[in-house]
Amino acid sequence: MTTWYFDSLYGLDANNGKSQDKAKRYYEVFANVGFPGAAQGDTYLFKRGTTQAISILNIGVGSGAGTTQRTRYGAYGIAQVPYSIWTPPPTGTLNNSFILNGSGRSYIDFEDMYFDALNRATYTLYLVASGGTGNSGHRFQRCYFANTAPGANGTGLFFGGTDTSTGDTSDYLFEDCHFLNNPVHGMLVNGAHGVVVRRCKFYGNGFNAPAGGHGFSNKYRLQEFTPSGWMQAGLVWYRALAAYQADVYYVTTKVSGYGRLNKNTINPTTPSAGEFGVSGGNLYININSVTNPASQSVKYAWGRCCNLLVEDCEAYDNVNDPSSPFVEGHGFAFDNWTDDSVFRRNKSYNNGGSGFSINMGDRNILESNIAYGNQASGAVLASSWGSVLRHNTFFDNNLGPSGIRNNGEISAFPNCKNGNITNNVLRHIGDRFYGVDIFPDVTGFTGQNNCICGYLNTDRGSALTGTITDNPLLDARHRPQAGAIKRAGAYLGGRDFSGRTFHNPPSIGAVDAAAEPPARYLFVKA
């Protein structure tokens, strides 16, 4: 495999590019003529502190051949700036909506690259499946994604699938990356699975997002309200699905009592009231109504977003755009259906919305996280089933005005079901109503051994047992110093916010505060 060198200051396009003293100048010139002499699995290195401004139409990245033959983009040399810088042209004609095109590519390592969209490009790196061609197996280390253009898609990094693609979108790793100053999301995972995000930071995003933006966000591919195409068979309505929509997992409506439908896999063509089925390329729903669903605000989601692990990350200063109809600007959001995923050991603070959000996804876990200083709750749940919140520390949230703040440090909104809330520290000194606000139609919630201090009520719904109301006396590292909290939790295994194995029994909250060790004496014989 060949290593190619680029230096936009002192390189020459006519050089062979195979050594530092023979570096090529512009990557786009080399790529535009088809990467002559290059092959899958090659390495492309760019001198630190130099800028590659991409202006030629549709400049792409080279794909790897597989897990053992990966293409690498990195940096070389010594400079005060530790990365190469990538931008669109700063002025003049803009030929692309992105800086680099990664559509339909796989198995690429991106290292030490700063993508600055200069508020001109909609995307930094366009990284999606293309039709049936997948987009998977990528690794990002020490990269920055910043300053995308205003508009609905102004996200630092958007990756996964398009609404019409069918290629696989899986196996992504992000480590030590930054997502900053983007008008919508810092990162948006669109219908991808097998994603690990570790030690990354998300800040200053969401400031121009009428439909809402967050620090970290993700979603299924989604069919918004369906205006036409419905046919009727009694109370069952059905419509044809596009070929790429065959794996519908969720259906929601605004019909009273049928906000979220259950999937019927046994008799999918004859679902009962409150159910949907998929068979023969059709979607069948039963909302117990003879009214055409075109007027019932039916929407459905396909292209699963699942098996995400976000750990040891930070989100802060993300913005709730006041033009949005809902409260947005969350630090971390499993949004618009995300399943079987984990937020672990993250810190979320000073955001315009909530610290953490689970919106319409199932079987997700919030574990050993810290949230404080947010304008809405420490964590919000909406239309999610099987959510688990354990060993979190949420304090001094809901600082926003009426209409933004919620009544609970943890808020479980309508259509939630079967959640568990255990070993959490929830503290607010003031007039907030509930430590845990479980809305009246929410069923199946349980929990134990939480510390809930400073609220008018511990929880709405009386679902929690063994609650301690002592002030946890958190120290500067968010460790509880109150004796009633130390070693008072239910043992669940795992590691605390600092990465240490929880004691058995553990302290309540995200940071384990072990009981004082027994005194030891050294006796010296005179």
pLDDT digits 0-9 by tens, 260-274:
999 999 999 999 999
pLDDT tens digits for range 213-256? 999 999 988 777 777 899 999 999 999 999 899 889 999 998 98
Provide, rounded to the nearest whole percent, the portion of the chain with pLDDT above 90: 86
Contact 223, 252 (CB under 8 A): no
φ/ψ region of 80 (left if φ > 0, alpha if ψ in -120 to 50, else beta) reads alpha
Close Cβ partners of 127 (under 8 Å, ≥ 6 residues apart): 102, 103, 105, 135, 138, 157, 158, 159
Other CB atoms within 10 A of residue 503 CB: 16
**If you average pLDDT over residues 413-428, what whole number do you get?**
96
Question: pLDDT band for position 516 (50/70/90)?
Answer: very low
* Confidence (pLDDT) at 462: 86
| Side-chain half-sphere exposure of 475, counting CA atoms within 13 A | 10
pLDDT at 185 over 80: yes
CA angle 309, 315, 319 (to 5 degrees): 125
pLDDT above 50 for 507: yes
Q: Is the pLDDT of residue 334 over 60?
A: yes
pLDDT digits 0-9 by tens, 8-28: 999 999 999 999 999 999 999
Letter for the amino acid at 423? N
- Give the separation between CA 172 and CA 195, rounded to whole angstroms: 5
Distance CA 41, CA 104 (A): 16
Q: What are the C-alpha distances in Å from 432 to residues 96, 386, 407, 435, 472? A: 49, 26, 6, 8, 17
**405 with 429: CB under 8 angstroms?**
no
* Of 264, 297, 296, 262, the residue nearest 278 (C-alpha): 264
What's 66's DSSP letter?
Answer: B
Q: Which residue has the higher pLDDT, 518 or 405?
A: 405
Contact 358, 334 (CB under 8 A): yes
pLDDT of residue 34: 95
Distances from the Cα of 174 to the Cα of 187, 310, 470, angstroms: 11, 9, 39
Amino acid (1-letter code) at residue 22 = K
The domain limits of the chain are 223-302
192/221: higher pLDDT: 192
Paired tokens of 401: 């005005």
3-state secondary structure of 155: coil
Task: Name beta bridge partners: 342.
Answer: 309, 365
Residue 522: per-residue pLDDT: 58
Average confidence score pLDDT of the chain: 94
The Cα 152–Cα 321 span in angstroms is: 13
Contact (Cβ atoms closer than 8 angstroms) between residue 276 and residue 248:
yes
Instruction: Tell me which amino acid residue 121 is.
Output: A
Place of tokens 């009214």: 291
Question: Within 10 Å of residue 470's Cβ, how many Cβ atoms?
Answer: 14
Higher pLDDT, 247 or 444: 444
User: What's the pLDDT at 523?
Assistant: 61
Q: Do residues 480 and 486 lie in contact, with contact meaning Cβ atoms separated by under 8 Å?
A: yes
How far apart CA 320 and CA 141 sit, in angstroms, is 28
Statement: residue 503 has pLDDT above 60: yes
**Predicted pLDDT at 517:** 45
Report in angstroms the alpha-carbon separations of 335 from 190, 293, 301, 492, 500: 10, 24, 12, 26, 29
H-helix segments, 207-262 = none
pLDDT at 74: 98
Return d(Cα 100, Cα 98) in angstroms, integer. Answer: 6
**Per-residue model confidence (pLDDT) at position 491:** 97
How confident is the model at residue 247, as a pLDDT? 87
CB 458 within 8 A of CB 437: no
The angle subtended at Cα 21 by Cα 177 and Cα 57, nearest 5°, is 55
Give the pLDDT band (50/70/90) at residue 518: very low
Residue 124 has pLDDT above 90, yes or no: yes
What is the tens place of the pLDDT at every residue in 469-492?
999 999 999 999 999 999 999 999
